[in-house]
Structure 1
Amino acid sequence: MGTCTGVGFSSNRNPSAAGQEAARKALEQAKVTTPDFVLVFATVGYDQHQLIASIREATGGALLCGCSGEGIITHGTCIESNFGVCVMTIASDEIRFHSAHIKEIEGRAEAAGEELAVTLKPLTAPDTRACLLFADGLVFNFDPFLSSFERTMGRQEPLPVFGGLAADNWALHATYQYHNDEVFTGGMVAVLMSGSASIAWGVNHGCVPVGSKRTITRCAGNVIQEIDGRPALEALQEYLDPDWMTQWNKSSLNLCLGFKTPEHMRQGYEEYVIRYMPGKNDGAGEVIIQSEVTPGTELWIMRRDKELITAGLGAISRELRMQPESVPKFVLHFECVGRGKMVFRESEKSALLSSLQREFPDDVPWIGFYTYGEIGPIAHHNCFHNFTAVVAAVY
């Protein structure tokens, strides 16, 4: 049989109809009736429980994982609205999938990493190729999670981790994670992929510095308290929109922080790793990022550059081609919400997606979503990203 994969999408506003339509299209492309694994990304206008129930019914109760996103991505289609769902179905005698989920991860990223690893470790095998991870983008802290997860897994070479943080159309209210029949918030879902698959991937952000080097002088975990001896918000104020106090989502979308890429990750990657600031504390003048920092860390104020983003997607496309004639079994695409409709017109988004996908036949199953944070390895070290595209092709 090999690997039979299909992707379908729907923008129908009825959750049951949308789930059924997307699943049916995926099964038709895969030419199967009963898949082994189902991957789902959807936006939050739907009744999430009805949506997932309809997909479970259409796919015969196969293993299902996924999360909500600010938008969905398939071949030739990127939908950023309250109503969009995409489904990938896979039937394979070459690739095996095992899954786990952890709930209530807020404030306990280290413990969650250990719990997830304890569950997944017995399911790994010598041919386990990667872990897919989808976590709540409003509460997830990557660094303590990863440290605990990799330590507990105890592998000589870390297992590559790909994925994205669940999103909710900029409401910053609740994101959703999916595991079989369950729909929940504040948690994470992981999928082990094992078998005779090979993975090629690319990571690119396309951001440039707009100011001189700054230094974090006081911080606590993922909270930046002072920059250059001043409250962080005060130090950033000259770069923020005039209405930043009342419209932080808009201001933080137009401003990001760059940290020097660690030496062990610099081969073949850009000079900076990018961080988004999803939260702030007005009274204390603090800003919050999604990974941890230490006093003395240098940073740069960054902005997106459309030309660099376009060139970066072209570079990703070339990195995905393992051999000139090779065709992936499927492609996974995790794109930052900060590279979507808030920056690009629909025609520009479509052109960017086309520039990335044109190296591959139109029938390559391609699925992804717009995230609150992207996960993908740099130089074989797992890394968290913002304002970035992470694309992985499975052969």
Structure 2
Amino acid sequence: MTPARFASGFSTREDTQDAVREASEQLLGHLGDETPDLLVAFVTLHHGGQFESLGADLLRATGARHVVGCSGDGLIGGRREVEQGSALALWALACHDTRVGLFSSQAEQDESGAISFQGVPDLRRETSALLLLGEPFTFPMAEFLGLLNERFPAIPAVGGMASGGQGPGQNFLLHDERLVERGCVGVTLEGGVELVPVVSQGCRPVGEPLVITSVADHLVRKLGGRKAAKALFETLRGLDEGDRELFQGGPFLGVAVDANQHEFQRGDFLVRGILGVQSSDGAVAVADGGLRPGQTVQFMVRDAESAGEDLSRLMEARVGTEGAAAEEVGVLLFSCNGRGSRMFGGEADHDIRRVQAAFGREVPAAGFFAMGEIGPVGGRNFLHGFTASVGVLRGAPPSGR
């Protein structure tokens, strides 16, 4: 069995060809004689004039068999997060025991509002991981993930929505030599590697768990038999001054993914934003239309300190011990474009430093600040916001271990 190798490269050069050359040389220097089976590229819109040829340029410079990528308004590489200015981040996997498949998907909506997808991958039981990169203005990723969850419930996915553009046609995706301006591109990995996903939603619960007793689409009408707004304000009154201020500035609702669970921790909830309260009937509007009666929920708050602690804790719990001992590890990091120094009081490199710290050494890493982050919670894949979604890839253990 051929061991998996990972590498990354990063450049802030403004000239695109110089950036491709510098990042590729760094990456290939780490791989030695190995040829990348998969290259993942993230690039800022500063290099927009070269997007049409970027895929071919990267394949030629690295010798990679495949490349996927997207635009980002800020990039991550090594131990750095570059939130402004030009940048190119590369990440590579070399493992001849891994079957790498690429696909692209498009969405269509009919007159009734029903959504259909073209190019849905036909995943095999042996598929161990999915990487998804979407265009946020033209592709309903949440619905696509729901479809994948139904058809392929055991396959974890990580990724993010391209960023930097302000509307359709301003972001881009890479699919080998092809430039894609809408839809989604994806990678399937089969054999040789395994994915350990880490999803840090950066929220902590306040108050007590409650059960939805009445709901209509995204409107939660009753919690525990009383009006949802009443439960919200009762929770608010029970908070200390600091949490009350956070709650008033933007409350969240955590939805328990496992209905059979009775005790809950942070990672057991899918976090969704609260859009407002209807004074007419006391309903609470939530940024999710998939709620149903009987689900356990809990109000939540988000602050910079809790978000940092949550990411560090989850990384240590999921990969700290095993990751530190693993010979070959590669990391893809998808952070919300609302995080970074804007969220953490001017602190630079916040998320990537905490991710790298879990390994006790610098591992090959790349990523970008996304307009939506993809990762599993409770065994199902979701589209998140204000989240750090980490994909830790490492060589799969031999069968029988």
Q: TM-score, normalised by structure 2?
A: 0.74
Q: CA RMSD in A?
A: 3.8
Q: 1:376 & 1:313 partners in 2: Cα distance? A: 14
What is the identity, as a one-letter code, of the residue corresponding to 1:203? V
**What residue is the counterpart of 1:147 in the other structure?**
146
What is the identity, as a one-letter code, of the residue corresponding to 1:164? G
Unaligned ranges ≥5, structure 2: 223-248, 276-284, 395-401
1:56-104 deviations in whole A, cap 9, x for unaligned?
Answer: 2212362111211221112211111241110112221232211101245
1:187-233 deviations in whole A, cap 9, x for unaligned?
Answer: 101101111323323211223579999x9x9977xxx69999xxxxx
Q: 2:109 & 2:19 partners in 1: Cα distance? A: 31
Q: 2:39 & 2:84 partners in 1: Cα distance? A: 22
**What residue is the counterpart of 2:20 in the other structure?**
19
**What residue is the counterpart of 1:203 in the other structure?**
199
Q: Does 1:56 align with 2:55?
A: no
- State the 1:152 CA deviation: 4.5
Unaligned ranges ≥5, structure 1: 229-253, 279-286
1:150-175 deviations in whole A, cap 9, x for unaligned?
Answer: 4445xxx4311111111116x34532
1:254-286 deviations in whole A, cap 9, x for unaligned?
Answer: 8574342333496654464334699xxxxxxxx
Are the counterparts in 1 of residues 205 and 266 from structure 2 also a CA contact under 8 Å?
A: no
Distance 1:256 1:18, change over 3 A: farther
The DSSP-based 3-state class of the residue aligned with 2:376 is coil
Q: 1:133 & 1:210 partners in 2: Cα distance? A: 33
Distance 1:22 1:360, change over 3 A: same
Selected match of 1:262 from 244, 257, 261: 257
Alignment: residue pair count: 353
**What residue is the counterpart of 1:116 in the other structure?**
119
Distance 1:276 1:69, change over 3 A: farther
**What residue is the counterpart of 1:307 in the other structure?**
305
Answer with 1 or 2: which has the greater Rg. Answer: 2
What is the identity, as a one-letter code, of the residue corresponding to 2:171? T
What is the identity, as a one-letter code, of the residue corresponding to 2:67? L
**What residue is the counterpart of 1:38 in the other structure?**
39
The DSSP-based 3-state class of the residue aligned with 2:119 is helix
- State the 1:361 CA deviation: 4.9
Q: 1:246-395 maps to which residues of 2 (within 5 A)? A: 255=250, 257-264=252-259, 269-270=266-267, 272-275=269-272, 292-293=289-290, 304-318=302-316, 319-321=318-320, 323=322, 325-346=325-346, 348-395=347-394
Are the counterparts in 2 of residues 265 and 378 from structure 1 also a CA contact under 8 Å?
A: no
- State the 1:106 CA deviation: 7.2
- State the 1:129 CA deviation: 0.6
Q: For structure 1, which segment, 380-389 or 203-212, has the greater mean C-alpha deviation from structure 2 after superposition?
A: 203-212
Q: 1:27 & 1:167 partners in 2: Cα distance? A: 27
Distance 1:76 1:255, change over 3 A: same
Q: 2:115 & 2:129 partners in 1: Cα distance? A: 20
Distance 1:25 1:265, change over 3 A: farther
Q: 1:46 & 1:219 partners in 2: Cα distance? A: 45
Are the counterparts in 1 of residues 206 and 299 from structure 2 also a CA contact under 8 Å?
A: yes
**What residue is the counterpart of 1:167 in the other structure?**
163
Q: Does 1:184 align with 2:180?
A: yes
Q: 1:277 & 1:70 partners in 2: Cα distance? A: 26
The DSSP-based 3-state class of the residue aligned with 2:145 is helix
Q: 2:139 & 2:267 partners in 1: Cα distance? A: 25
**What residue is the counterpart of 1:80 in the other structure?**
83
**What residue is the counterpart of 1:250 in the other structure?**
none
Q: 1:265 & 1:11 partners in 2: Cα distance? A: 49
- State the 1:357 CA deviation: 1.0
The DSSP-based 3-state class of the residue aligned with 2:116 is helix
Distance 1:147 1:95, change over 3 A: same
What is the identity, as a one-letter code, of the residue corresponding to 2:178? E
Are the counterparts in 1 of residues 156 and 375 from structure 2 also a CA contact under 8 Å?
A: yes
Distance 1:105 1:394, change over 3 A: farther
- State the 1:382 CA deviation: 1.7
Distance 1:269 1:257, change over 3 A: closer
Q: For structure 1, which segment, 316-325 or 260-269, has the greater mean C-alpha deviation from structure 2 after superposition?
A: 260-269
The DSSP-based 3-state class of the residue aligned with 2:161 is strand
The DSSP-based 3-state class of the residue aligned with 2:26 is helix
The DSSP-based 3-state class of the residue aligned with 2:47 is coil
Are the counterparts in 2 of residues 177 and 184 from structure 1 also a CA contact under 8 Å?
A: yes
What is the identity, as a one-letter code, of the residue corresponding to 2:136? G
Distance 1:265 1:53, change over 3 A: farther
**What residue is the counterpart of 1:236 in the other structure?**
none
Identity %: 23
- State the 1:309 CA deviation: 1.2
1:277-326 deviations in whole A, cap 9, x for unaligned?
Answer: 99xxxxxxxx995x534588998886531111121121122112362522
Distance 1:226 1:271, change over 3 A: closer
Distance 1:120 1:271, change over 3 A: closer
Q: 2:114 & 2:134 partners in 1: Cα distance? A: 11
Distance 1:272 1:349, change over 3 A: farther
**What residue is the counterpart of 1:67 in the other structure?**
70
